């Protein structure tokens, strides 16, 4: 246990962020490094309780009390060894994970939970500074070849695990750069791309082969992959966006969030894009439809592009400040949250439904019509109903649709003829194999749009299954089934 009385002596503190005025002037990461006494005290709050529910809360099964103790005792190198034992990329989760572990922390029953995610980030950042993160190429080659389709966190985690088991691993990515949503979806201010690049250097040095602009099902023939490789892992994400089939949807100025976010990320990567003022929020009244993380990423991006005014719409009522009775510990707390982008400004509008996009007379959006809704009991279920007479217009010259994603994209899946679930995700059996022998699936492609921590966990689990399929047994760990 870190410090017997730590949880009574020290309160929870938040990961330090750069001041809003400063960070709005650039695209750099809003988080600041956290070390020293304050961080040590956060680790000291861990009670090392008999049954660490945080293990269950974390999809990776991270050994949280172990590394809290090691950080408290300043044994950082052992801490990163314990962390890397379950998580290939703690810098991604330490920066971006919503930390379901903290929702399950036993201290959270009657106090604020341990700042687990901040400790995780501090451990990996220290490890990179100290030079402890080194390539670990395999000690032997199996001669087996695996193709991984998609280079998001699921594909990368599987690639690293399989390469370290001695297999030849080729990652096929349709984009010009490796990283999946970490590269082109998630904005720099949440995690800088150099954080991704330094990890990719490790994978490349270990011998993972990357093929960019290789779109399986379009310019790479999936049946050729089946002939050339001993196994295939489908890790292509679930990137088909949910649309809003409303009057005015086709007006200029109404866009999917990802089309907007991707352009900004590409510009920051130095890609030469044609000027597209339509995709800029500068000087505009922006309406973001969708109250989730993607919407918040649009909000932070629009702030930095100097939007005139921004509203983020959410159809559900504002969540409570603390857990409600039907949402007890250790469930994920469904409470009101404030992201870094929300701290920076903009207005959140709850319990409203979008009715239509209104034309300015030239084919361009000038307003969004919304109506207030309420959750009412109907036939034993809670149903959202419009409140009569509550319709109003929000002035708008850029509307961003951020209502989530419905399914994976199809060409490669159709050509491989893998079975799909009712929701259109890739079906897989408990060994992560799809309906086609030798073809496996992991990450959002089989789960639907989810979280980075799940993608890494599933990439690791699928890697263990592929290793077993190829070799008859495996020493690779498998966090989830
Ligand atoms: C804007 C946004 C912000 C998010 N923020 C967070 C966050 O803060 N925290 C969090 O935990 N999660 C967040 N998520 C969710 C998270 O990014 C995903 O759950 C995660 O990236 C899924 O990983 P994946 O490897 O399964 O797929 P992806 O990251 O989607 O990667 C799939 C890759 O496969 C490639 N691909 C697809 N088809 C083919 C093909 N046929 N041939 C070759 N390549 C192909 C794609 O180009 C892509 O690069 C966010 C999502 C979005 C959209
Ligand atoms: S990966 Fe996420 S859930 Fe797991 S310990 Fe880190 S912050 Fe918590």
Per-residue pLDDT, 277: 87
Tell me how far the alpha carbon of residue 235 lies from the centroid of ligand 1, in angstroms.
9
| Atom of ligand 2 lying closest to residue 120 CA | 6
Return the residue matching tokens 């194999």.
Answer: 433
Tell me how far the alpha carbon of residue 116 lies from the centroid of ligand 2, in angstroms.
7
Angle between helices 116-130 and 76-84 (to 10 degrees): 110
Per-residue pLDDT, 1: 67
| Atom of ligand 1 lying closest to residue 191 CA | 8
Tell me how far the alpha carbon of residue 65 lies from the centroid of ligand 1, in angstroms.
29
Tell me how far the alpha carbon of residue 428 lies from the centroid of ligand 2, in angstroms.
25
Say which ligand is closest to the CA of 15.
2
Mutate to test the pocket of ligand 2, among 79, 89, 100, 122 (most ligand atoms within 8 A of CB): 100
> Comparing 272 with 407, which gets the higher pLDDT?
407
Mutate to test the pocket of ligand 1, among 156, 185, 200 (most ligand atoms within 8 A of CB): 185
Say which ligand is closest to the CA of 88.
2
Give the architecture (CATH level 2) of 243-403.
3-Layer(bba) Sandwich (3.50)
Tell me how far the alpha carbon of residue 350 lies from the centroid of ligand 1, in angstroms.
27
pLDDT in tens, 185-217: 999 999 999 999 999 999 999 999 999 999 999
* 401 pLDDT above the threshold of 80: yes
* 7 pLDDT above the threshold of 80: yes
Give me the CATH topology for the region 6-130.
Fumarate Reductase Iron-sulfur Protein; Chain B, domain 2 (1.10.1060)
* 313 pLDDT above the threshold of 80: yes
* 363 pLDDT above the threshold of 60: yes
Report cis status (omega within 30 of 0) of the bond before 330. Answer: yes
Tell me how far the alpha carbon of residue 62 lies from the centroid of ligand 2, in angstroms.
7
- Closest by CA position to 14, among listed 1, 31, 26: 31
Do the beta carbons of residue 166 and residue 142 sit within 8 Å?
yes
| Atom of ligand 1 lying closest to residue 298 CA | 1
Mean pLDDT, rounded, for 385-403: 98
* 336 pLDDT above the threshold of 70: yes
φ/ψ of 240, rounded to 5, equals -80, 115
Residue identifier of the C-alpha nearest atom 41 of ligand 1? 216
pLDDT band at 5 (very low <50, low <70, confident <90, very high): confident
Say which ligand is closest to the CA of 62.
2
Instruction: Give the whole-angstrom CA distance, residue 339 versus residue 335.
Output: 13
Alpha helices (H) in 309-432, listed in sequence order = 340-343, 411-416
Q: Which residues make Cβ contacts (< 8 Å) with residue 409, sequence separation at least 6?
A: 236, 239, 240
Per-residue pLDDT, 8: 87
Per-residue pLDDT, 184: 96
Say which ligand is closest to the CA of 154.
1
pLDDT band at 368 (very low <50, low <70, confident <90, very high): very high
Residue 64 CB less than 6 A away from ligand 2: yes
Residue 69 CB less than 6 A away from ligand 2: no
Percent of the chain surpassing pLDDT 90: 93
Instruction: Give the whole-angstrom CA distance, residue 148 versus residue 403.
Output: 28
Distance of CA 110 to the CA centre of its chain: 29
pLDDT in tens, 33-50: 998 899 999 999 999 888
Residue identifier of the C-alpha nearest atom 49 of ligand 1? 180
Residue 93 CB less than 6 A away from ligand 2: yes
Residue identifier of the C-alpha nearest atom 4 of ligand 2? 58
* 249 pLDDT above the threshold of 80: yes
| Atom of ligand 1 lying closest to residue 412 CA | 41
Q: What is the mean pLDDT of the chain?
A: 96
3-state secondary structure 291-317: CCHHHHHHHHHHHHCCCCEEEEECCCC
| Atom of ligand 1 lying closest to residue 294 CA | 1
Residue 453 CB less than 6 A away from ligand 2: yes
Q: If you compute the radius of gyration of the chain from its CA atoms, what whole number of angstroms results?
A: 23
Tell me how far the alpha carbon of residue 299 lies from the centroid of ligand 2, in angstroms.
25
Q: Which residues line ligand 1 (CB under 6 A)?
A: 96-97, 149-155, 172-175, 180-181, 185-186, 190, 214-217, 235-237, 239, 261, 293-294, 297, 409, 412, 443-445, 449-453, 455
| Atom of ligand 1 lying closest to residue 453 CA | 11
Mean pLDDT, rounded, for 96-111: 95
Tell me how far the alpha carbon of residue 36 lies from the centroid of ligand 2, in angstroms.
21
CATH class as words, domain 145-239+406-471: alpha beta
* 410 pLDDT above the threshold of 60: yes
Mean pLDDT, rounded, for 414-427: 97
Mean pLDDT, rounded, for 453-474: 98
Please list the residue range(s) of the chain that carry CATH number 3.50.50.60.
Answer: 145-239+406-471, 243-403
Tell me how far the alpha carbon of residue 215 lies from the centroid of ligand 2, in angstroms.
32
pLDDT band at 109 (very low <50, low <70, confident <90, very high): very high
Instruction: Give the whole-angstrom CA distance, residue 423 versus residue 400.
Output: 24
Residue identifier of the C-alpha nearest atom 3 of ligand 2? 58
Residue 101 CB less than 6 A away from ligand 2: yes
> Comparing 379 with 427, which gets the higher pLDDT?
427
Mutate to test the pocket of ligand 2, among 91, 117, 157 (most ligand atoms within 8 A of CB): 117
Per-residue pLDDT, 481: 53
């Amino acid at each position: 246990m870190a410090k017997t009385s730590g949880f009574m002596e020290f309160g929870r503190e938040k990961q330090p962020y750069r001041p809003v005025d400063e960070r709005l002037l650039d695209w750099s990461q809003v988080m600041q490094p956290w070390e020293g006494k304050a961080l040590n005290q956060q680790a000291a709050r861990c009670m090392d309780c008999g049954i660490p529910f945080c293990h269950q809360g974390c999809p990776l099964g991270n050994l949280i009390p172990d590394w809290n103790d090691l950080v408290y005792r300043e044994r950082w190198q052992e801490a990163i060894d314990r962390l890397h034992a379950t998580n290939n990329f703690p810098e991604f989760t330490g920066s971006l994970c919503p930390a379901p572990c903290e929702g399950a922390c036993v201290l959270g029953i009657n106090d604020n939970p341990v700042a687990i995610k901040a400790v995780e980030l501090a451990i990996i950042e220290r490890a990179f500074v100290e030079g402890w993160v080194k390539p670990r190429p395999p000690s032997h080659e199996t001669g087996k070849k695996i193709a991984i389709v998609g280079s998001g966190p699921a594909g990368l985690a599987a690639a690293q695990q399989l390469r370290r088991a001695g297999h030849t691993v080729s990652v096929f990515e349709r984009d010009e750069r490796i990283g999946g949503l970490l590269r082109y979806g998630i904005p720099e201010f949440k995690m800088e791309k150099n954080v991704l690049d330094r990890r990719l250097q490790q994978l490349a040095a270990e011998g993972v082969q990357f093929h960019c602009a290789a779109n399986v099902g379009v310019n790479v023939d999936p049946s050729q992959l089946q002939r050339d490789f001993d196994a295939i892992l489908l890790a292509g994400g679930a990137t088909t966006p949910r649309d809003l089939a409303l009057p005015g949807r086709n007006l200029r100025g109404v866009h999917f969030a990802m089309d907007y976010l991707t352009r900004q990320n590409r510009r920051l990567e130095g890609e030469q894009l044609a000027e597209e003022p339509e995709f800029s929020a500068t000087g505009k009244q922006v309406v973001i439809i969708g109250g989730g993380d993607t919407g918040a990423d649009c909000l932070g991006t629009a702030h930095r592009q100097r939007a005139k005014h921004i509203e983020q719409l959410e159809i559900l009522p504002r969540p409570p400040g603390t857990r409600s009775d039907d949402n007890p510990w250790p469930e994920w707390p469904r409470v009101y949250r404030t992201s870094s982008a929300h701290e920076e400004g903009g207005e959140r509008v709850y319990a409203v439904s979008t009715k239509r996009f209104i034309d300015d007379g030239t084919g361009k959006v000038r307003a969004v019509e919304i109506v207030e809704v309420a959750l009412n009991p109907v036939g034993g279920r809670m149903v959202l109903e419009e409140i009569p007479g509550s319709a109003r217009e929000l002035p708008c010259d850029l509307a961003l649709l951020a209502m989530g994603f419905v399914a994976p994209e199809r060409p490669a899946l159709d050509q491989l003829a893998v079975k799909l679930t009712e929701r259109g995700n890739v079906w897989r059996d408990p060994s992560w194999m799809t309906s086609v022998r030798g073809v496996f699936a992991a990450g959002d492609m089989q789960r639907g749009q989810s979280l980075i921590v799940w993608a890494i966990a599933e990439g690791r689990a699928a890697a263990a299954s592929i290793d077993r399929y190829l070799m008859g047994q495996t020493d690779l760990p498998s966090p989830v089934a």
